[in-house]
Structure 1
């Protein structure tokens, strides 16, 4: 063997001998790293229990604040805030310790760690900044004297408190949004705390936003800058129309610097002679020419327009040309339904009708939507609605204090979000405030806050709407690369009438049809709108009977229409996929013809997708 070959062989031998040691060294390092990470993980796991305990303690203390429209809840939270802050600060400090910060960068588990850190920071910011600011603003206002003589509200304290309440609400909503954007934790102990916090702060956030919105619109509505006249349009969804239902009566609200006066409601039989409201070619084609009922679009039918602005414009037309004259002032229009009146009565207390019937916070809607048509002569039904509307709205602002104002404010906010209450001002500056506060109902008009619109118009002249139970489910499918989100929506309408219930119903309730066999039929001209900047696909209707689905345009917006029939006992389900605009900042919601009860009737599953 040559010298060179011998040297090469020797070098190869030494190299071979080194490899086992290198491998062992790498294995040793990996094992050491794994042990170190395991120790850190065990420490974090132990500390996660402490985080859980601190956050659960904090959440239990703020439970009373989930009813933020109640002054006693505000006072209770004010006393407990130092302890709440102590708990959230402790949780945040633990979750940002060195072990947590290290594991936050480890694949898989790092997402959970970051979620917990974000959760503790957000909750601590809420309890240290936003909530104290809100509590201070509200408690300061509670010391003010709001009630003047009779039905007059002292508006000055509300005007003075507006900036502080708005600032606190803005901060609160930003923190809630940050919480909602956190990734959902996988660790069960942490996820349970996350879910509890998510539910409670979103509930509080919704209530706080309603109150702030109400405080924003009240001064203008109540004449802070001069006398205001609003027409109050009472609709009944026992005979559904897009915005709520058939117009039963119209009243008048006059306000001036907090003084409130309600004039008599006039039933629709006194609002003739009937003639069509001003309408677009699209509206006439969809609601008259192509609809089975060939709706006349007179004052009774103006609720067919799904935008409150269009309802208000129609009322103004009738107001100036039929009911009054061109010089009679009209500043805006308010739309209410029986469910709104029930919600108000639940706050202000029972009312008694002329015949001694007592209505309260649980039986008013059923009475006005169903029992009145069965138990009273037909020519008295509109008068009954007028009595309830006058008394309940009169009580709404009578002898007011901060506690009552907060309850009324929450009711107004909830009712507006569910279309039981809506309003429009012909003053562009005032309307801008009302619209921004969420009090002007409209078809989908925001790319950032996406909605789909589902609206019904009864084509069987009847009061069958009371028996139509509606519910919906939104399921998120995926977040798309362009920032848009995909959902699946199912919307169900069920005719709850039984044969035994149907038999004794008068024709006015069961339906004035040419064929006896169609008694009790729900015959719904249905309009479905995609979200602004988004789309609807794979639209199908199963169950019951329906006409072909048509793609339409009305007043510049795309929609889909079909006439759906549900006989007693039948159920129809509308299914479709939705893609939002890439600009969407919140989860998809459904805007719909208001239900027969408070609530949206919507089940939401958004577990697979988070907003940006």
Structure 2
């Protein structure tokens, strides 16, 4: 007999646990992981190496880029071509290093990608400029050297300019396309070294833009304007800054110049006093400038440029000429004795029929001051001015003048707004309108207030030879709504001798004919504010200044009068509220004036504009 529980009834006995099993990696998986790490490391190293090499290539290209401009200016076209080849080689290498599929694929990686894209875009833009802009322009420079474009026997050879037109047009378009591509880079998503490099490249593009556009616009405009497609007639108006007008000076004399297939000739000359006046405006004048400057801008040729809107003034002067003399006028060009002085640096001294010798050193003082002592009769003065201008024109036209010096003199005069050009042909005027040569009203942007300060003589004499002008401007945000305030400070000084009333001719002082004491200077100042803005305040010495206010093409305008005895100085502050701007930047355009000391001003030296800090406590809010 069995004793105890049966097998079925016995409780289960706990089994001993199995020892833990070790997971073993498959050799293939391990190999793949290692390979991936190596591949990633290799790719990172590959990209880093190529980025480093691209950086080196771009840095190595800088000396070549700087060398091109200096070589062209000096006329060493061989060196210019060599530098251009070096620049293209370096830029192409940098673009190749950053443009392969691996680099492009890596641009999708967060954080790293935007930096790689920025470097690639910068390299590509540099390569495009070197191959499609600089190389073609250097080739054109070899066949269109400024020295070969100089007048010879009264004619300019237009063939090089005509041949250069399509090349230069393509180069100009390529430059702006490259600049536009560079602007697409979001530097806020890049590290500082990359972002700062892109910003610097943008600055270089901005610095080069005026030169590229000058070449491009010249190639597009000059052949037709010089009569390649048929004769052209231009009015050359001489402005006298001793009696200021907004665009530079009273129109003292007018010459008709003809350009026919490159041949340039002086057809006729007239004193401004022989044209008009009219009892009614010769052309429709907008209400804005009429309200600010009166009917004179449409009835007297001497006053058409009381308005700073040069296209309006030029078209009105053109109508006055044709109303008096018939014919057609294709454009208007301004100049003044300061421009003549610049041309005389290129031509050398020129003898005037009256016996004087005109030089770059004495042109301004002789034509704007001494002439009034020698010739009290205005008719004699006009004859002297006409003879001087004709003598310089004939010297330039006969040839023999260094073309580079001549072009440099004209470019310097244009940069200081002493040469302005208007074309009666809309297609040409649309190109000119993009340049400072057009003399357009100031232009504002979303961050910058474009303002203008213009001077018109109200003495009725030639005292502005002794007027010193100074302009300063600044901006600040002083309002809760964020709208910026722009302040313009205009300072005028009468530097005439203390005894001017007795030592200067009545023709210079005005002799009190218009109620201004002899020796004093009376000036009407027009200050133009930003587009869409509001005139906020006009003060002088802390007191409100009386003024005429109005608008001109959407710009607020303040016109006030300042009268100064010899030695006196006065400052007037004008405040504008920007309604379309969000920033405090200010860009100022002014009438080109004389230094107020009788010294010959430097052509090309733009009117200096100072900076001022705007005290919000003094701002009208």
Question: TM-score, length-normalised on structure 1?
Answer: 0.70
> Pairwise CA RMSD of aligned residues?
5.1
| 1:544 Cα deviation from its structure 2 partner | 9.7
CA contact (8 A) 2:233 2:330 kept: yes
Equivalent residue, structure 1, for 2:382: 382
Correspondent of 1:601 among 590, 598, 607: 607
Equivalent residue, structure 1, for 2:282: 278
Q: Secondary structure, in 3 states, of the residue corresponding to 1:329?
A: coil
Does 2:488 correspond to 1:490? yes
| 1:250 Cα deviation from its structure 2 partner | 0.6
Sort the Cα spacing of 1:498 and 1:273 in 2 relative to 1 into closer, same or farther, 3 A.
Answer: closer
Equivalent residue, structure 1, for 2:293: 287
CA contact (8 A) 1:339 1:598 kept: no
CA contact (8 A) 1:459 1:525 kept: no
Provide the rounded CA distance (Å) in 2 between the counterparts of 1:184 and 1:540: 41
Provide the rounded CA distance (Å) in 2 between the counterparts of 1:202 and 1:426: 30
Sort the Cα spacing of 1:189 and 1:358 in 2 relative to 1 into closer, same or farther, 3 A.
Answer: farther
Provide the rounded CA distance (Å) in 1 between the counterparts of 2:70 and 2:449: 27
Sort the Cα spacing of 1:427 and 1:416 in 2 relative to 1 into closer, same or farther, 3 A.
Answer: same
Correspondent of 2:323 among 321, 324, 331: 321
Provide the rounded CA distance (Å) in 1 between the counterparts of 2:133 and 2:65: 13
CA contact (8 A) 1:486 1:577 kept: yes
Provide the rounded CA distance (Å) in 2 between the counterparts of 1:519 and 1:278: 35
Q: Secondary structure, in 3 states, of the residue corresponding to 1:563?
A: strand
Q: Secondary structure, in 3 states, of the residue corresponding to 1:79?
A: helix
Provide the rounded CA distance (Å) in 2 between the counterparts of 1:375 and 1:252: 27
CA contact (8 A) 1:221 1:255 kept: yes
Deviations 1:357-385 (A, max 9, x none): 3322x654455444544665453443343
CA contact (8 A) 1:511 1:520 kept: no
Sort the Cα spacing of 1:318 and 1:112 in 2 relative to 1 into closer, same or farther, 3 A.
Answer: same
Q: Secondary structure, in 3 states, of the residue corresponding to 2:242?
A: strand
Deviations 1:234-276 (A, max 9, x none): 1122222222221110111012111110135322344456766
CA contact (8 A) 1:54 1:91 kept: yes
Equivalent residue, structure 2, for 1:526: 526
Equivalent residue, structure 1, for 2:249: 245
Structure 1: tracts of 5 or more residues without a match: 1-39, 606-612
CA contact (8 A) 2:494 2:569 kept: yes
State how 1:5-16 maps to structure 2 within 5 Å.
Answer: none
State how 1:410-559 maps to structure 2 within 5 Å.
Answer: 415-416=413-414, 418-435=416-433, 439-444=437-442, 451-466=450-465, 467-473=467-473, 488=486, 490-495=488-493, 497=495, 504-510=503-509, 512-513=511-512, 519-531=519-531, 534-536=532-534, 538-543=536-541, 547-554=545-552, 557-559=554-556
Equivalent residue, structure 2, for 1:309: 311
| 1:162 Cα deviation from its structure 2 partner | 0.8
Q: Secondary structure, in 3 states, of the residue corresponding to 1:241?
A: coil
Provide the rounded CA distance (Å) in 1 between the counterparts of 2:187 and 2:377: 56
| 1:452 Cα deviation from its structure 2 partner | 3.5
Provide the rounded CA distance (Å) in 2 between the counterparts of 1:336 and 1:100: 55
State how 1:174-193 maps to structure 2 within 5 Å.
Answer: 174-176=177-179
| 1:341 Cα deviation from its structure 2 partner | 3.1
Provide the rounded CA distance (Å) in 2 between the counterparts of 1:488 and 1:59: 39
Deviations 1:498-555 (A, max 9, x none): 6558574444445544777673434224141533xx434545444598843444245x
| 1:307 Cα deviation from its structure 2 partner | 2.8
Q: Secondary structure, in 3 states, of the residue corresponding to 1:238?
A: coil
Sort the Cα spacing of 1:164 and 1:494 in 2 relative to 1 into closer, same or farther, 3 A.
Answer: same
Sort the Cα spacing of 1:455 and 1:149 in 2 relative to 1 into closer, same or farther, 3 A.
Answer: closer
Sort the Cα spacing of 1:311 and 1:206 in 2 relative to 1 into closer, same or farther, 3 A.
Answer: same
Does 2:222 correspond to 1:214? no
Does 2:132 correspond to 1:126? no
Sort the Cα spacing of 1:83 and 1:519 in 2 relative to 1 into closer, same or farther, 3 A.
Answer: same
How many residues in Structure 1 have an aligned counterpart in Structure 2? 545
Structure with bigger RCO (C-alpha 8 Å, 6+ apart): 1
Q: Secondary structure, in 3 states, of the residue corresponding to 1:152?
A: coil
Deviations 1:285-306 (A, max 9, x none): 43248xxxx8894121111133
| 1:217 Cα deviation from its structure 2 partner | 1.8
Provide the rounded CA distance (Å) in 2 between the counterparts of 1:119 and 1:501: 64
Point out the structure with max Rg over C-alpha: 2
Provide the rounded CA distance (Å) in 2 between the counterparts of 1:267 and 1:505: 24
Provide the rounded CA distance (Å) in 2 between the counterparts of 1:506 and 1:398: 37
Equivalent residue, structure 2, for 1:257: 261
CA contact (8 A) 1:462 1:509 kept: yes
CA contact (8 A) 2:471 2:610 kept: no
Sort the Cα spacing of 1:206 and 1:285 in 2 relative to 1 into closer, same or farther, 3 A.
Answer: closer
State how 1:103-114 maps to structure 2 within 5 Å.
Answer: none
Provide the rounded CA distance (Å) in 1 between the counterparts of 2:114 and 2:374: 62
Provide the rounded CA distance (Å) in 2 between the counterparts of 1:229 and 1:191: 51
Sort the Cα spacing of 1:145 and 1:99 in 2 relative to 1 into closer, same or farther, 3 A.
Answer: closer
CA contact (8 A) 2:68 2:84 kept: no
Question: TM-score, length-normalised on structure 2?
Answer: 0.70
Sort the Cα spacing of 1:169 and 1:263 in 2 relative to 1 into closer, same or farther, 3 A.
Answer: same
Provide the rounded CA distance (Å) in 2 between the counterparts of 1:528 and 1:250: 29
Equivalent residue, structure 1, for 2:576: 576
Provide the rounded CA distance (Å) in 1 between the counterparts of 2:269 and 2:544: 38
Q: Secondary structure, in 3 states, of the residue corresponding to 1:421?
A: coil
Sort the Cα spacing of 1:77 and 1:457 in 2 relative to 1 into closer, same or farther, 3 A.
Answer: same
Provide the rounded CA distance (Å) in 2 between the counterparts of 1:339 and 1:111: 52
Provide the rounded CA distance (Å) in 1 between the counterparts of 2:107 and 2:558: 54
Equivalent residue, structure 2, for 1:7: none
Does 2:75 correspond to 1:76? no
Q: Secondary structure, in 3 states, of the residue corresponding to 1:70?
A: helix
